Structure 1
Amino acid sequence: MVGRKKKTKICENVSTLEDSISQLPEHLISEILFHLSTKDAVRTSVLSTKWRYLWQQVPGLDLDSYAFSNFYKFVSFVDRFLYSNNESCIRKLQLYIGHHHGMCDISSWIDDVARRRIQHIDLSFDISYRLDKIPPLRLYICETLVHLRLFGATLVDVEFVALPCLKILHLDLVRYLNESTLEKLISGSPVLEDLTIYRYLAYNAKVLQVRSKTVKRIHIDDFKVVIDAPLLQRLRTKIYETKKFEIINLGFFTKLDIHLVFRRHRTYNSSMIHDIITDISRVRELVINNGIWKDIFLYLKSGPVQQFRNLSSLNAEFTKSDLEFLPLILESCPKLESLTLEVVKVQSMRREKKIDPKVVFSTVPQCLVSSLKFVELKRSISGYEGERELIRYLLKNSTVLKKLRLDLYYSQRAMNVFLKELVAMPKCSTGCEVLVL
């Protein structure tokens, strides 16, 4: 009886909720369906007679061609949706098109939505089969487009680009008949804020010029680029063999996210290290993996002490063998407020020392005394004996620390022993909260 009563109550709640939504004006229901995929929106047609055709009024199309039993049905569905009411506004077009895309006219679809006040275009093509039909010229002069994302497409060369509302441009594995097309897309977007470009150039391609007075976030892969963006807040990039990006504006940007793709037995030249250190000195937040720490520290030790006075947040990976350099980096960051440290496996076992290094602080870094408020330690590998001493040191000497978060790799038995030791550790900051995951 108890189970039946609960079931009846749940059904009553669902029925009440459904009735409440059905009583909304159709334009509000259409707005709710707009945030669903087209497949899910169509499913609502079985709810009642009122809902049967509401999905057709949704100003957006979000489809995966593989969701259809064959490609002809996918093409037929898109055609009927776009041309059944070709005077209505279409705000969003999001399609994933499989390798049969040659049997549909992508250009005509884009041309149609571009004249219907489209705001969001997201097109993905199977990279095994390159797109042989390129978007129409109307795409480059769309006055309402705000967000453009293309994956696996090919863009036609144009003389003129005018995208007055475009704020987000995301190009992934996109080819260009003329490389100048990309620079025209950037310069022809006067309010662009977010730019992502992933591996579109050959290694011998010319240097890309990113010149924008409005762009705030840039995510680029491994290709040559010169950035002139005075409002830049975040740069995210990869480095394979050499540093290929250059920032020529003199302002300070907020965040630098560097991922170095490891190559065995590789060292970086001093010029490259100097350039990276210069970029680090200009940011307030730094995210960096372990691929280059040893080279940075050796460079720092060879000259005068480098002070990263703007750095307030550091999210870094270290190998066990590189942890001995941690005191030097903390001494170089007198205003550091947040430290996230992850101990990871070294890529090449030849670089790993057989004896775990000890993190030795000859003095207490300035940041521990005056600014460091949050520390997170992560360890996804077992076997670092110096971990407890590092935690003990941080708790004992961090004057203003508010939270210490520990995400560690222990067996249940070892964790119990560690927790007992942790409770007994003295804390300089009495208000510090310690969380163990």
Structure 2
Amino acid sequence: MTINFTICFGEEQRMFAHIEQMGHSLHWHRSIYAKRGMLLPKGYYNNKVLWKMFLFSKEIHQTDQRRYQTIGREDRLSLLPNPLLSRVLLHLPTKDVVKTSVLSSRWRSVWRYVPGLDLDDRELPDYSSFVNFVDRFVEFLRSNDSPIAKLKLTSKRVKSDPSAIKPWVKEALVRKLQHLEINYSTRFNSLELLPIMLFACPTLVCLRLFDVAFNELNHVSLPRLKTMHLEEVKFTNHAAIETLIASCPVLEDLSIVQDDLKVIRVVSQTITSINLVRDTNHQDNEKWEVLIHTPRLKYLSLKDKKSSSFIIYKMSPSAKVDIAVDFNVKGFLDPNDLEKRNSIGHFFKNISSSVRDMIICWETLKVIHQYLKLETLPQFPIMSHLHAKIFVADLEMLPILLRSCPNLKTLILELNVSTNKKERTRFSYVPWCFYSSLESVEMKTPISEIGLEVEVIKYFLENSRILKKLTLRLAGRTMKEESLIFMELLNFPRRSSVCEVHVAGLEETMLKL
């Protein structure tokens, strides 16, 4: 069926009003209207994808007599076969997929053939409606012998019964399921909601599980799985995660958010990205540790307040790391605790030759500050980018930290000024990278007064020989305050003749005039 759209401006306004009255949240950016010479509806809408699809069949033509006019063309998008349309719609949430049914009669039933479901029970009136909708979806695909490529279900309602989820997942698993994401209320995280056959699915490519439990893993085989995200997933056997990883021969992206595993071991020849999170502090005397042996690893994120030991055997060259760990040092590093000192030293030594880009947080730098009074940090010879989040009380160790980065090109500095320390910080010396490689410095923390932050900026301007750009932010209460800060900065001598000082957010500053 071919549908022509010949819509004058008034008709287009009425169509927008009609769709808005039907309760559909549709968005089209103002600039798109302006470029195409269309009148703007009064409201803003939320989904660009649907309107891009709707307007795929329109073309705007400019003439000398009339600035813009809409010329009807054949609806090329609607001419596409259902299987192709279904693959496109598979990338949208189900609530938006259903909305395409109002575009035209051709689209009225297309959404039913989309081989996937992405649904949150909070988008429906009650949990019963959620169950009925999923039941009808699964039954429709079963009756048409259609595959289910994607199943993403979220349920956070207080009043809900999770018993229905197991048959849904079972049906999807036998229908060539590729993407599975289950996120149920934490009230059910001790119940085995999912079928154990899930871990022997030959077609699964992406698995994301939140707050679910499993008793036993008898047979695990996930030959195509590339992405696995496990958040507070409970296993009777704590070695189950190791078994899972070992049974995924092509796994690339791994994320584990888990507070009850004392030992996390990741051994894989294929993983390129790891995200490990253990947020909760603990007070027991047991040893919590992380062991990673992944020679192709390109990205590592550690957010861990429990582990005292991190053993990284191997990473890919030029890796990026995001470190937020305290090695279980709660306030004070005991000089007599040789085991803890060795653990810290071994961690940085093992990653030093592989890291090109590092983000390091406040707690980690506080531990390093204490460690540097007892030991030295290894050199990071290929590190070119460093984002350091540092407490003001630890600023004095900044030159020592940078001494370990002889080839650093970009430094982002984020100061935590929550402490009451107001005295000047004296930097002991100038590290080698100031002379050889440092080209860009960015101060993420807004400057609200002439104080410690200004002293840090002065340190970089006066000592960096080849610095090209220094970026800062101002946060004075008035334009006058910010002008005084900025003039103070401009008066500092610059070691580099090519250095430019950039003020981020200057537009906001001008609004204070």
Matched letter for residue 193 of structure 2: I
2:433 to 358, 367, 371: 367
Matched, 1:197 2:268: no
The runs of 5 or more residues in structure 2 that have no matched partner are 1-8, 15-36, 42-50, 59-74, 279-287, 335-340, 505-513
Matched, 1:88 2:88: no
Give the Å deviation of 1:10.
Answer: 2.4
Matched, 1:217 2:273: yes
1:97 to 142, 155, 178: 155
Give the Å deviation of 1:147.
Answer: 0.9
Give the Å deviation of 1:249.
Answer: 3.5
2:128 to 46, 62, 72: 72
Aligned to 1:410: 476
2:88 to 5, 23, 32: 32
Give the Å deviation of 1:422.
Answer: 3.5
1:419 to 465, 486, 489: 486
Instruction: Report the identity percentage.
Output: 35
CA contact (8 A) 1:135 1:156 kept: no
2:229 to 141, 148, 170: 170
Residues in 2 aligned to 1:392 and 1:94: alpha-carbon distance in whole angstroms: 52
Matched letter for residue 324 of structure 1: E
Residues in 2 aligned to 1:294 and 1:209: alpha-carbon distance in whole angstroms: 26
Instruction: Write the deviation string for residues 249-282 of structure 1: whole angstroms up to 9, x where unpaired.
Output: 3765612222147999721343343234324524
Matched positions, count: 426
Cα separation, partners in 2 of 1:33 and 1:326, compared to 1, 3 Å: same
Structure ranking higher on relative contact order (CA contacts 8 Å, 6+ apart): 1
Alignment of 1:26-425 (within 5 A): 26-86=82-142, 87-98=145-156, 99-102=158-161, 104-130=163-189, 132-201=191-260, 205=262, 207-222=263-278, 224-249=289-314, 254-260=319-325, 266-269=331-334, 270-279=341-350, 281-282=352-353, 283-303=355-375, 306-346=378-418, 349=419, 352-353=420-421, 355-362=422-429, 364-380=430-446, 382-383=448-449, 385-411=451-477, 412-425=479-492
Cα separation, partners in 2 of 1:272 and 1:410, compared to 1, 3 Å: farther
Which stretch of structure 1 is more off in the superposition, 310-319 or 180-189? 310-319
SS in structure 2 at match of 1:148: strand
Give the Å deviation of 1:57.
Answer: 1.3
SS in structure 2 at match of 1:248: strand
SS in structure 1 at match of 2:187: coil
Residues in 2 aligned to 1:12 and 1:255: alpha-carbon distance in whole angstroms: 45
Give the Å deviation of 1:169.
Answer: 0.6
SS in structure 1 at match of 2:441: strand
Residues in 1 aligned to 2:114 and 2:76: alpha-carbon distance in whole angstroms: 16
Residues in 2 aligned to 1:247 and 1:12: alpha-carbon distance in whole angstroms: 56
CA contact (8 A) 2:264 2:289 kept: yes
Matched letter for residue 141 of structure 1: A
Give the Å deviation of 1:21.
Answer: 6.1
SS in structure 2 at match of 1:105: helix
Residues in 2 aligned to 1:330 and 1:378: alpha-carbon distance in whole angstroms: 18
Cα separation, partners in 2 of 1:173 and 1:294, compared to 1, 3 Å: closer
Give the Å deviation of 1:76.
Answer: 1.5
Cα separation, partners in 2 of 1:161 and 1:264, compared to 1, 3 Å: closer
Tell me the TM-score normalized by structure 2. Answer: 0.75
CA contact (8 A) 1:186 1:212 kept: yes
Instruction: Write the deviation string for residues 330-366 of structure 1: whole angstroms up to 9, x where unpaired.
Output: 22211111111111134xx5xx53x42324253x322
CA contact (8 A) 1:154 1:174 kept: yes
Cα separation, partners in 2 of 1:115 and 1:276, compared to 1, 3 Å: same
Which stretch of structure 1 is more off in the superposition, 282-291 or 182-191? 282-291
CA contact (8 A) 1:257 1:287 kept: yes
CA contact (8 A) 2:245 2:251 kept: yes
SS in structure 2 at match of 1:417: helix
Tell me the TM-score normalized by structure 1. Answer: 0.87
CA contact (8 A) 1:186 1:210 kept: yes
Aligned to 1:10: 38
Which stretch of structure 1 is more off in the superposition, 34-43 or 297-306? 297-306
Matched letter for residue 271 of structure 1: N
CA contact (8 A) 1:150 1:170 kept: yes
Residues in 1 aligned to 2:460 and 2:320: alpha-carbon distance in whole angstroms: 25
Give the Å deviation of 1:424.
Answer: 4.2
CA contact (8 A) 1:21 1:29 kept: no
Cα separation, partners in 2 of 1:261 and 1:294, compared to 1, 3 Å: closer
SS in structure 2 at match of 1:186: helix
Aligned to 2:24: none
Aligned to 1:434: 501
SS in structure 2 at match of 1:94: strand
Instruction: Write the deviation string for residues 56-94 of structure 1: whole angstroms up to 9, x where unpaired.
Output: 111210001122222222112111111212221222111
Which stretch of structure 1 is more off in the superposition, 374-383 or 81-90? 374-383
Cα separation, partners in 2 of 1:154 and 1:305, compared to 1, 3 Å: closer
CA contact (8 A) 2:298 2:318 kept: yes
Matched letter for residue 95 of structure 1: L
